[in-house]
Chains A and B, each alone.
Chain A
Amino acid sequence: MEKIIWSFIVGGAICVIGQIMMDVFKLTPAHTMSTLVVAGAILGGLGLYEPLVKFAGAGATVPICSFGNSLLKGAMQELNEHGAIGVLIGIFKLTSAGISSAIIFGFIASLIFKPKG
């Protein structure tokens, strides 16, 4: 139960940061999203994102910054196995399910609805 509450608080806090970026700093939704992804990758690189995931569970894995963390994690794993080229191999490895499903479900939706308005 305690974990669920922390998950709610941490996930909510990340969203509050995103909201402040849009409302106060007038960033566009696209800029806000990419900034959070980059922030997740940096925190992952500093070794701070994994402890946050352990602590808050879905509160840290559902927001978009977790995507940045996964990009970095995949790249680092392959770097260790294959060297420099591994960065390119691994960058989308852990995140491929998310990216592929976005493309596939986007395609299915475009067949059913009107993608051009």
Chain B
Amino acid sequence: MVKGSQSFIFDSQPVIIASATVGGPLEAEGPLSEDIDILHDDPYMGQDSFEKAEKLMIEEAAMKALEKAGVDKDEVGVFISGDLINQIIASSFAARTLGIPYLGIYGACSSSMEGLAIAASLVDGQKVKYVLTGASSHNNSAEKQYRYPNEYGAQKPPTSQWTVTGAGVCLLTFQGKGPRVIGATLGRIVDMGITDPFNMGAAMAPAAVDTIKAHFRDFGIGSDYYDLIVTGDLGAVGHKIALDKFKENGISINEKAFLDCGMMIYDRERQPQVFAGGSGCASSAVTIYGHLLNEMRKGKIKRLLAVATGALHSPLSYQQKESIPCIAHAVAIEM
């Protein structure tokens, strides 16, 4: 059902009956490692390229989620996935292995919640019984895609972020036990004219604020409705800008209940190489589908607003000196 101008409510409240996550070496050392199902200690993960390693992570996360739910892959009606590699090959090649009808999406780092919103809509509309949705990123494949190959050794400023190596997948259906997807607010493109690809957080923060504001407006609620509002990958720089923007807009936000996945997945004091924090599709996918859904299952979080942010530029648009268009999609999950 449509709610306001940018949102909808899922009347049947699709259930996330299972979720699974995969992480790389740095994620294994991070504070959320206990909530990651499969950890790899080698960025190649036994494959001969980083792209194949990323594809493997999606396959592993998908199979693990199906195994947890006890659902056969032939029963799944749609597999929705997105990543950061050119032409989303990690997702599409994983879909080739899985053999499930596939919708490839690209929302940069917002792909996780874009996928979840589409998945919930398909289940809510009774189009399919089971929908598998996920997103992935790999530090080495994304750095080479968007900035410089790691081997090039280009200097990074303190505002830069570390692309999370990982994948997160969840399985939705009509009924069962688990966190329920209540509603979603789809973001509009917000472009504040930032052109620095080493400062994604600052570029994306206004988009996150715009979507959260729209969500509160459409649902007629305030930030106190949620136990936790979490953004995907604003990092320390973007997180602070978002807090300032809320103040500017006169929106009260409980700072203790407004967190960022990119700051949760790494310990920035112990892992200083991540600079401002994590980024990439897997930042939100691994943190939300792993740690936060587990917290919901344990009853520690009842109402979660997950807001995944994405920077929709390309290396070409950056070289042509275009600014960075950003987006954020919010999905409300309740236990």
Whether A117 touches B149, Cβ cut-off 8 Å, given contacts A23-B157, A29-B155, is yes
Whether A29 touches B154, Cβ cut-off 8 Å, given contacts A117-B49, A117-B50, A117-B141, is yes
A66-95 residues at the B interface, CB under 8 angstroms:
none
Q: Would you call B49 and A116 a contact (CB within 8 A)?
A: yes
Give the size of the chain B interface in residues (CB under 8 angstroms).
15
The distance from the CB of B162 to the nearest CB of chain A, in whole angstroms, is 17
Q: Would you call B144 and A26 a contact (CB within 8 A)?
A: no
Query: Does B140 count as interface, using CB distance less than 8 angstroms?
Result: yes
Query: Does B75 count as interface, using CB distance less than 8 angstroms?
Result: no
The distance from the CB of B25 to the nearest CB of chain A, in whole angstroms, is 16
Query: Does A22 count as interface, using CB distance less than 8 angstroms?
Result: yes
Query: What residues of chain A lie closer than 8 Å to B50, measured between beta carbons?
Result: 117
Interface of A: prevailing SS: loop
Query: What residues of chain A lie closer than 8 Å to B154, measured between beta carbons?
Result: 29
Query: What residues of chain B lie closer than 8 Å to A114, measured between beta carbons?
Result: 48-49
Whether A22 touches B141, Cβ cut-off 8 Å, given contacts A117-B49, A117-B149, is no
Residue of chain A at shortest CB distance from B53: A117
Q: Would you call B196 and A26 a contact (CB within 8 A)?
A: yes
A88-117 residues at the B interface, CB under 8 angstroms:
114, 116-117
Interface size of A as a range? under 10
Bound-state CA distance A61–B169 (Å) is 54
Residue of chain A at shortest CB distance from B154: A29
The distance from the CB of A102 to the nearest CB of chain B, in whole angstroms, is 14
Query: What residues of chain A lie closer than 8 Å to B49, measured between beta carbons?
Result: 114, 116-117
The distance from the CB of A34 to the nearest CB of chain B, in whole angstroms, is 15
Contact indicator per residue, chain B 38-76, by CB within 8 Å of chain A (1) or not (0): 000000000011110000000000000000000000000
Residues of A within 8 A of B (CB): 22-23, 26, 29, 114, 116-117
10 tightest Cβ-Cβ pairs between the two chains A and B: A117-B50, A29-B154, A117-B144, A117-B49, A117-B140, A117-B149, A22-B155, A116-B49, A26-B196, A23-B157
Q: What would be 18 A-B contacts, judged by CB atoms less than 8 Å apart?
A: A22-B155, A23-B157, A26-B196, A29-B148, A29-B152, A29-B154, A29-B155, A114-B48, A114-B49, A116-B49, A117-B49, A117-B50, A117-B51, A117-B140, A117-B141, A117-B144, A117-B149, A117-B151
